[in-house]
Amino acid sequence: MDKEQSLFAVLLLGLFGGLLAFLAARLKPWLLLVLLPVVGVFIYLQLTELMDPYVGPAIAAEAGRLYIVISWAAPVLVFAGCSAGFVWRRRNVKVNT
């Protein structure tokens, strides 16, 4: 676990990434072209370590179940923030009729 991200860092990325995705989708959707690849790379690197047949069980044994749950919840938080931002944006768009 000394080479893995801390639980706090993974949780912070999920929460902060979700908040930034929400704000970007709500205010300036083109910012998602920059934000989502950056967050996506971190999440990809995190989850490939967890899914590795040799490293994954060792991480689960040392870090615990909470680390695994938060690692899988981080991309869900980012996706939920992005989706909520688009929904909020769509509801507040003025339609000229």
Supply the DSSP symbol for 30.
Answer: G
Q: Is 2 helix (H, G, I), strand (E, B) or coil?
A: coil
pTM (two decimals): 0.83
Q: What are phi and psi of 93, to 5 degrees?
A: -80, 130
Identify whether the C-beta of residue 83 lies closer than 8 Å to the C-beta of residue 75. Answer: no
C-alpha dihedral sign at 77, 81, 82, 87? positive
Give the per-residue pLDDT at 95.
53
| Residue segments in the chain with a per-residue pLDDT below the cut of 50 | 96-97
Tokens standing for 92?
A: 């507040």
Give the per-residue pLDDT at 89.
86
Give the per-residue pLDDT at 2.
76
